[in-house]
Amino acid sequence: MQDVLNTLGNNATNLLENVKNSEELEEIRVKYLGKKGELTLVLKSLGSVAPEERKEIGMLANDIRKKLENIIESKKEELKIKEVEERMNSEKIDISMSKQNLNTYGHKHPLSIVIDDIKDIFIGMGYSIAEGPEIETTFFNFDALNAPFDHPSRDLQDTMYITDDIILRTQTSPVQVRTMLENKPPIKIICPGRVYRSDSVDATHSPMFHQIEGLVVDKNISMADLKGTLNMFAKKYFGDKTEIRFRPHHFPFTEPSCEVDVSCFVCGGKGCKTCKNEGWIEILGAGQVHPNVLVAGNIDPKEYQGFAFGFGVERIAMTKFGVSDLRYLYENDVRFLSQF
Ligand SMILES: [Zn+2]
């Protein structure tokens, strides 16, 4: 019985020494130590061995089992490392590969195209770019912009609050006051940036979108200057024949306030799908800076006046590029983006 066990142990050890991969190792383990393995069967049959030999044979069988288990364990580690190395070698990236497949270049996102084009036009008119924080205080986002305490835009349903007086800015307008506090007139800035509202996502709404704000503060600034500026912008951006029209509106931070339409750049005003047969497309809100806002910006409204305007970038991109659903602009689907 001892001889049988020793031979069995030696055979198993020999096989294990020469094992080539994990599958083979597992086969050997099952052959000797599995439920019906050769060594397992010997251990099971101990009952039939004469009692005086049982202890000795049992100890030998157990020793052999432990020895085999140890070898299997260390072989397993060894093979694992070897197999990872082999896989890394076989998967090595061939940097000498032909560059034929790499000749497609990325380009600007449609929203960046709109923002950069608008920036270029205003920089050409002597404006500079201003920026402000996206996490803003209620002071700069509401109070300094003449929004009374009960103004509906302060509602939780519209504004994302971080604390009672810190929010995600709902508009780029806080940059107006920040700029006035840091600079003396004349001020001519535009401020592009992300803004946040507590909206759910659908074809025309998103909790995050982009605005471009414009602000001019100087002596003797009137609505005529605003109209001249936006007229010039509209012609440069939408084409020479573009007309603009002002409609009265209300914003807390401007007085008087207006919404501004451009004549449809697709049909020229006759009516089409893009302008929903109106002939006009609304592009922005504007007005003369409210005296209270100038005061909040530490500027004397008796000496200085100003105008401000604000675009929704997504709205312009959708109109200009004929995009029917806002969500396409955020999904980063290359099939969509590569069209622009
Ligand atoms: Zn039209």
pLDDT digits over 187-199, tens only?
Answer: 999 999 999 999 8
- How many A from CA of 336 to the centre of ligand 1? 24
- How many A from CA of 300 to the centre of ligand 1? 43
- Residue 95 within any structural domain of the chain: no
Whether residue 20 sits in one domain with residue 119: no
Q: Which residues, 6 or more positions from 207, have their beta carbon under 8 angstroms from its beta carbon?
A: 160, 196, 197, 198, 199, 200, 201
- How many A from CA of 283 to the centre of ligand 1? 14
- How many A from CA of 194 to the centre of ligand 1? 29
- How many A from CA of 118 to the centre of ligand 1? 21
How high is the pLDDT of residue 86? 87
- How many A from CA of 245 to the centre of ligand 1? 15
User: Structure tokens of 260?
Assistant: 């501004």
- pLDDT tens digits, one per residue of 25-45: 999 889 988 888 888 888 888
- How many A from CA of 281 to the centre of ligand 1? 8
- How many A from CA of 239 to the centre of ligand 1? 14
- How many A from CA of 277 to the centre of ligand 1? 6
Whether residue 283 sits in one domain with residue 228: yes
User: Which amino acid is present at 226?
Assistant: L
- How many A from CA of 316 to the centre of ligand 1? 14
CATH number for the domain that contains residue 181: 3.30.930.10
- Residue 167 within any structural domain of the chain: yes
The count of domains in the chain is 2
How high is the pLDDT of residue 101? 63
Last residue of a domain, one of 90, 118, 147: 90
Whether residue 305 sits in one domain with residue 163: yes
Whether residue 288 sits in one domain with residue 143: yes
- pLDDT tens digits, one per residue of 253-297: 999 999 999 999 888 889 888 888 999 999 999 999 999 999 999
- Residue 246 within any structural domain of the chain: yes
State the distance between the two ends of the chain, measured CA to CA, in whole angstroms: 83
How high is the pLDDT of residue 2? 80
How high is the pLDDT of residue 114? 95
- Residue 99 within any structural domain of the chain: no
- Residue 160 within any structural domain of the chain: yes
- How many A from CA of 224 to the centre of ligand 1? 27
- How many A from CA of 268 to the centre of ligand 1? 6
Whether residue 167 sits in one domain with residue 21: no
In this structure, how many other beta carbons lie within 10 angstroms of the beta carbon of residue 326? Answer: 18
- How many A from CA of 249 to the centre of ligand 1? 23
Whether residue 315 sits in one domain with residue 168: yes
- How many A from CA of 320 to the centre of ligand 1? 11
- Residue 103 within any structural domain of the chain: no
User: Structure tokens of 215?
Assistant: 């602000």
Whether residue 228 sits in one domain with residue 160: yes
Low-confidence ranges of the chain (pLDDT < 50): none
- How many A from CA of 322 to the centre of ligand 1? 12
Whether residue 304 sits in one domain with residue 217: yes
CA 265 to chain centre: 32
How high is the pLDDT of residue 195? 96
Whether residue 282 sits in one domain with residue 207: yes
Whether residue 118 sits in one domain with residue 26: no
How high is the pLDDT of residue 340? 86
Q: Which domain holds residue 54?
A: 2-90
Contact 44, 78 (CB under 8 A): no
Contact 326, 203 (CB under 8 A): yes
